[in-house]
Structure 1
Amino acid sequence: MTDVHADIAIRRISTDEARERAAPLAQALADVLIDCVEGGASVSFMLPLTREKALGFWYGVLQAAASKERVLLVAETTAGRILGTVQLITAQPDNQPHRADVAKMLVHRDARRRGVAAQLMAAVERAARDQGKTVLVLDTVTGGDAERLYQRAGWQTVGTVPNFALMPDGAYCATTFFHKQL
């Protein structure tokens, strides 16, 4: 575990935990996802985001983590409350065994500005190295806080696509793509 703040740590959800504790993990992760979407984060979901839809998403992620297609990291308090998460999608085409996608970097609004996102990103990069991945890619809303976070962490901008996605309220947003060579 990596210390983020005195009461917050980053850890990887093991394949066994993803299988054996799927229900409580999905509930806690759904809380974070719903909070982020309600706060305006463009992370593939529209308002209103139902708990059922959020749970369905997380059960799929946990299944992928259990089958080693993804690495799922969480930031949690010493009391066990999940405040943030990020994923490393390691299942790639045959000609890209060296590459992984970073996805769904989410931090609950009441845990922001405490270094949680930066620590999640550092941890996902370590996880990628541990998996033998040397090229990482991700995308984010252009002009948002996450874009600045990735730039500070040494990620390189590939380009921006106007009107690539929708914000949770239905407004179009541009998306910036990044890569990092490890």
Structure 2
Amino acid sequence: MSALDIRTLSPDQLDENLVGLSKVLHACVHSGASVSFVLPFTLKDAMRFWTNKVRPALVASECVLFAAFINEELVGTVQLDHSMPPNQTHRCEVSKLLVRPDFHRRGIARKLMVALEQKARQLERPLITLDTAKNSNAQHLYESLGFNRVGEIPNFARHPTLKKHEATTYMYKEVQASSTR
């Protein structure tokens, strides 16, 4: 595998990488990733998500968008949402960990999560939370990274490609704050 480069993207860089981000999201949904969307799901739907949901959060400095590139090709992404209510400013949330299916099993998701954890430390957010489809590959990855299961909610979300509902698992990890800010 060629060198993997993990970058944080600004709003303008999101715009420059809109097609790549949209292709990643589109491919993941079509391969069955439970990330809020269901079929039918078009490339335009994916573009609207990045433009209407993520870009405003980046402009407002409410989240950090990470992108994984191999040979300048965008192959994965994850978001760190740190826009929390006043009583939860010690916490942040993982959102939309996505790796293009043809790049699975290469350590890309793990490296994105390591970058996300480092940023959480820098932001002095020692509690990271997330939810994921029960017993998914993502859940197993999060557990291997030290995330703890809190509980499950049955029939939480509709499966993206099948007409059935799936349980979700809530997880958390506590990390030490970075000594540099």
TM-score (norm 1): 0.91
- Structure 2 residue 11 is matched with structure 1 residue 11: no
Corresponding residue number in structure 2 for 1:95: 87
- Structure 2 residue 163 is matched with structure 1 residue 167: no
Aligned-partner SS, 1:140: strand
Alignment-mate amino acid for residue 27 of structure 2? D
Structure 1, unmatched stretches of 5+, are: none
Aligned-partner SS, 2:61: coil
1:50 deviates by 1.6
Aligned-partner SS, 1:133: coil
Alignment-mate amino acid for residue 56 of structure 2? Q
Aligned-partner SS, 2:88: coil
Alignment-mate amino acid for residue 101 of structure 2? R
1:52 deviates by 1.9
Matches within 5 A, 1:89-168: 89-168=81-160
1:24 deviates by 3.0
Corresponding residue number in structure 1 for 2:178: none
Alpha carbon RMSD of aligned pairs, Å? 1.2
1:93 deviates by 0.3
Which residue of 55, 67, 73 corresponds with 2:60? 67
Note the alpha carbon deviations across 1:124-179, whole angstroms, 9 max, x for none.
Answer: 00011111101110010111101110000000000111100011123211100100
Corresponding residue number in structure 2 for 1:82: 74
CA distance in 1, matches of 2:99, 2:164: 22
1:64 deviates by 1.1
Structure 2, unmatched stretches of 5+, are: 176-181
Alignment-mate amino acid for residue 61 of structure 2? K
CA distance in 1, matches of 2:123, 2:75: 25
Note the alpha carbon deviations across 1:84-135, whole angstroms, 9 max, x for none.
Answer: 0000001100111110010100000011110001101111000111111011
Corresponding residue number in structure 2 for 1:42: 34
Aligned-partner SS, 1:64: helix
1:62 deviates by 2.1
CA distance in 2, matches of 1:46, 1:69: 26
Alignment-mate amino acid for residue 116 of structure 2? V
Alignment-mate amino acid for residue 114 of structure 2? A
TM-score (norm 2): 0.91
